[in-house]
Structure 1
Amino acid sequence: MSEQTANAAKAGWLNRALNAIEVVGNKLPDPAVLFALLMVVVWVVSWALAGVSFNEVDPRTGAAIQVNNLLAADSMTTFMAKMVNTFVTFAPLGVVLVAMLGLGVAEHTGFINAGLRSVLSVTPKMLLTPVLIAVGVASHMAVDAGYVLVIPLGAVIFYAAGRHPLAGIAAAFAGVSGGFSATILPSSLDPLLSGLTQVSARLSSDPAAAELFVSPMNNYYFTTASTFLVVIVGWIITDKFIEPRLKATRVDGDPADMPKMDDLKPNERKGLRWASFSMLLSIVLLIVSALPETSAWRAPAGTVLAEGQSNLLVFAAPLMQSIVSIIFVFFLIPGVVYGYVSGNAQNHRDIIKGMSKAMSGMGYYIVMAFFCAQFIYAFGQSNLGALLAIKGANWLQEMAFPMGFTLIGIVFLSGFVNLLVGSASAKWALIGAIMVPMLMELGVSPDLTQAAYRVGDSSTNIITPLLPYFPLIVVFCQKYVKSTGIGTLIALMLPYSIAMLVLWTAFLLGFWALDIPLGVGSSYSYPASN
């Protein structure tokens, strides 16, 4: 068999596999409907198991664990009475919407756009790949801005530099989506996931879990360090594997239709300077105000601290309770400054328009959050979570798997589910409700379980056709290579996905083995040993 025939056979097998995944994924209901259906399943299962006697002991009561019948009259009336409160008090809802208000202004006025173009336009050719990937990672601060801005710009700057434009798209896609859980600065994803983790942790049978707080920055050190891993892996894969492979792929798009990377206009440069200065000044003021021991940002006097723990980095400290508000302010201020200085915002109505636009884009998330909140509430009230956690913990203890293998299992489970369910929050709400309390029974902290989920979720983002932006990336590719299809893009991104899945998992295990802190207020064990 010739090399060309062998490559064609491999491509054909890959396309058949991807088509099968796409068919299966398309048969799944929308995540919002999925949560509603799962809630009904919880109701039915709770009714079926309500009269069953279990040998497992509930630590909260000291008695055998009992499943509560959610179809009983008093349970259903309580569910209806609390439906609104269950939704509005759903932990991830408010934090995500507040963060998006500030980010929406920064995006609408053009501050984020100008900042990304500025960084990419002054990058030396030899550093083009790593900087592009790093900018893709940084774009998470604006949620989906990277998909519609950084990825097409990646093709533009690679093409302008005489390199293959599809390699630019692949590198940018690897940073934006493959590095989704890496971070340079905190983003709205951090409070979103930690909020879901906190909700899941409180499903634990441990009475103390009811007061457990999961910091929005509980994985910050790990995800920040992961940025360097993602950039290095993406750089090597792009320059040593993807680009050489693309040499035989002819660029046949219409040059007239190929977008150009415009230089910043004088008003944009001026706006970017003032906006950057305002952001830097805000950061300096926060640091200066938090440094004094008498700072109002610190925990009140008398707060119990662990050995070596700062009263600035505990939950009782107003600083830690203000993370989401700080994200809001830190992007609102430069967004407003840029808008007025550049002329993109004429008055306060333009600022409000940016916030409104950001909120309008969150409509689907709000719908999904409603059904997710109801499912989480029903799951908790049924006691099924505690039953599964105790049974699962007992099984894992009996099997005596090393904890490293357990963490690897979470990573690969998350990566597999990601091929079928596109929403990061939907996946974690489903997986976390089981895994977080179950592993807490084994002494594993919610912070570590969440970190393992984030590795698996990010690593397979770039190879799932069910990613909402996947068809858009194919369209970007077709501007340069008309024959590009889903299989083409998957073939481009598969090396990144495999490399990240393996190396990022090893990176997490290294953090765990060396006891390097995962983030602010986090731990590896439960209850926390430090």
Structure 2
Amino acid sequence: MSRLQLENENEAKMGPMMKFLNVVERVGNKLPHPFMLFVYLAAATMVFSAILSFFNVSVFHPGTEEEVHIKSLISGEGLQYITGSMVSNFSGFAPLGLVLAMMLGIGIAQKVGLFEAFMKKTILNTPKSLVTYAVITAGVLGNLASDAAYIIIPPLAAMVFYAIGRHPFAGLAAGFAGVGAGFTANFIVAGTDALLSGISTEVAKTVDPTVIVTPVDNYFFMSASVVMLVIVGALVTEKIIEPRLGTYTGKAIDTTFEVTKEETKALRRTGIAAVIYLALLALVVLPANSPLRAEDGGLVPSPFISGIVPIILFFFITLAIVYGASVGKIKNTSDVPTLMGEAMKDMSGYIVLVFAVAQFIAYFNWSNIGIWMAVSFADLLQSVNMTGLPVIIGFILLTAILNLFIISGSAQWALMAPVFIPMFMLMGYDPAFVQLGFRIADSSTNIISPLNPYIPMLLMFMKDYDKKAGFGTLFSLMLPFSIFFLGAWIVLLIIWVLAGLPIGPGITM
């Protein structure tokens, strides 16, 4: 029997869900590298703009009431724009500076081992009855350490579960669910907030040049989401995953994974430094005549909100220096910029990607295709009375499906934002609220996407406990998390909106 016949026979034996996943995997694997994807999209935008311009397509801008014509990028004017704006498109791309600035602080904290020690300490010192909650909490909050959380939390959680007599696969699944599905939620503003809000601002300005989406515009809702994710994740682990797995009967595993006395002492000093920093910040912000407050004494909007990125940056730098000096990772002042430089090296892939993303968004906006599509889609939805929460829920479900094919959250938002932010803004939605809908969907299906680059790593960890474990095993573990997280998040959003609560400082639907 040939290899092709064997593969066809094996696929014929699979259930419809596994067949669907195989299709997703095959289609996703054929997608080009994200950089090239945006190069192709920029080229397609050029061709599309020329076609629409040839037919003299136009639309009336709802904000200015002026007729807006599609401008061709394949023209003398277009060529001048492309060559003259390429550098400024890149250097002026809003998310670039925000993300790099945030990573100077978060990156150095990661390099000195602060996040890793904190997550180990959180899980290992938790009572057995609360271990599931601790694992998922550490996973959700672990997004401060960016992708490092994927490498630390799941295998550590599997070891802890095994050590207390529970199935290690349940721990691994809970850890992966917390990190992957909870990647965008946190009690602390993180790099993800800066990255997504920067893209949202860049796009929103095509409709209203005065609009700014700040890194804290989703903060209230995302903070509440941490609590929801921990509760739902723990219930799914203990009521669905563990009963299905039963008792672990595999080989014995070495579970040595401890926090040293030196790390514990350093964490204690870092905690004191955090309290002092926050106390000093409160002393500056709380007085009614504070320079960080607005002229009327309010905080929303205010210099405090607009300056939140440097405030967070110095917070992480302070903690990193205290911890790094305590464990010997920082011995003199020259070590600080050296570690920052190492953190920036990890951002090289993002910087390269941004160059292509910035060109695509700039071309899309300059040609007026974005505003034309936004007005057209908005008119269509309004003509069929598709407004309010139902249209947002539809957007969330669409994003959740697309996330199976485009695993990079920033790349997917850069692709979707130019169409959906203007469209929803024209229907009266705040761009920060549209961004929130995206974050809910993007997070929920991260853990079941075959294109998630950490899936192979998770399979490797699983094979330490069971050599027969494969993608089907992992998918069957993660699917309940994905379904319940997405459903609970949508319910939370509905309750939040109906209660009239702000999703961030001064931000509503």
- For the criterion TM > 0.5, the same-fold answer is yes
Give the superposition deviation at 1:327: 1.8
From 181, 188, 213, the equivalent of 1:178 is 181
| Aligned 8 A contact 2:266 2:322 in 1 | yes
1:454 partnered with 2:445: no
C-alpha separation between the residues in 1 aligned to 2:410 and 2:222?
17
Give the superposition deviation at 1:237: 0.5
The one-letter code matched in structure 1 to 2:215 is: P
Give the superposition deviation at 1:201: 1.1
In 2 relative to 1, CA 12–51 (structure 1 residues): closer, same or farther, beyond 3 Å? closer
Give the aligned partner of residue 298 of structure 1.
293
Give the superposition deviation at 1:249: 5.8
Give the aligned partner of residue 29 of structure 1.
32
Q: How does 1:47-446 map to 2 (within 5 A)?
A: 47-54=50-57, 56-59=59-62, 62-204=65-207, 209-247=208-246, 250-252=249-251, 255=253, 258-262=254-258, 264-299=259-294, 301=295, 311-314=298-301, 317-446=302-431
State the secondary structure of the residue aligned to 2:405.
coil
Give the aligned partner of residue 474 of structure 1.
459
Runs of 4+ that moved beyond 6 A = 8-11
The one-letter code matched in structure 1 to 2:260 is: K
For residues 309-336 of structure 1, what are the alpha-carbon distances to aligned partners after superposition, in whole Å with 9 as ceiling and x for unaligned? x62231xx32112211122111111111
State the secondary structure of the residue aligned to 2:212.
coil
The one-letter code matched in structure 2 to 1:170 is: A
State the secondary structure of the residue aligned to 2:287.
coil
C-alpha separation between the residues in 1 aligned to 2:468 and 2:336?
42
For residues 52-106 of structure 1, what are the alpha-carbon distances to aligned partners after superposition, in whole Å with 9 as ceiling and x for unaligned? 2447423455444310011111221222122111111111111111111111211
| Aligned 8 A contact 2:46 2:73 in 1 | yes
Give the aligned partner of residue 6 of structure 2.
none
Give the superposition deviation at 1:15: 2.9
C-alpha separation between the residues in 1 aligned to 2:69 and 2:229?
46
In 2 relative to 1, CA 249–273 (structure 1 residues): closer, same or farther, beyond 3 Å? closer
The one-letter code matched in structure 2 to 1:243 is: E
In 2 relative to 1, CA 10–283 (structure 1 residues): closer, same or farther, beyond 3 Å? farther
Gaps of 5+ in 1: 1-7, 304-309, 525-530
C-alpha separation between the residues in 1 aligned to 2:331 and 2:68?
62
From 475, 478, 499, the equivalent of 2:484 is 499
The one-letter code matched in structure 2 to 1:94 is: G
1:518 partnered with 2:503: yes
The one-letter code matched in structure 1 to 2:174 is: A
The one-letter code matched in structure 1 to 2:287 is: P
C-alpha separation between the residues in 2 aligned to 1:11 and 1:173?
25
Give the superposition deviation at 1:408: 1.0
C-alpha separation between the residues in 1 aligned to 2:480 and 2:228?
15
For residues 366-412 of structure 1, what are the alpha-carbon distances to aligned partners after superposition, in whole Å with 9 as ceiling and x for unaligned? 11111100111000000001111111111011010242210111111
| Aligned 8 A contact 1:203 1:433 in 2 | no
TM-score by length of 2: 0.94
State the secondary structure of the residue aligned to 1:480.
coil
State the secondary structure of the residue aligned to 2:60.
coil
The one-letter code matched in structure 2 to 1:298 is: R
Give the superposition deviation at 1:344: 2.7
C-alpha separation between the residues in 2 aligned to 1:32 and 1:512?
37
Percent of counterpart pairs with the same letter?
38
Give the superposition deviation at 1:108: 1.4
| Aligned 8 A contact 2:102 2:312 in 1 | yes
Give the superposition deviation at 1:137: 0.7
The one-letter code matched in structure 2 to 1:274 is: R
State the secondary structure of the residue aligned to 2:451.
coil
In 2 relative to 1, CA 388–164 (structure 1 residues): closer, same or farther, beyond 3 Å? same
Give the superposition deviation at 1:166: 0.8
In 2 relative to 1, CA 360–338 (structure 1 residues): closer, same or farther, beyond 3 Å? same
Gaps of 5+ in 2: 1-10
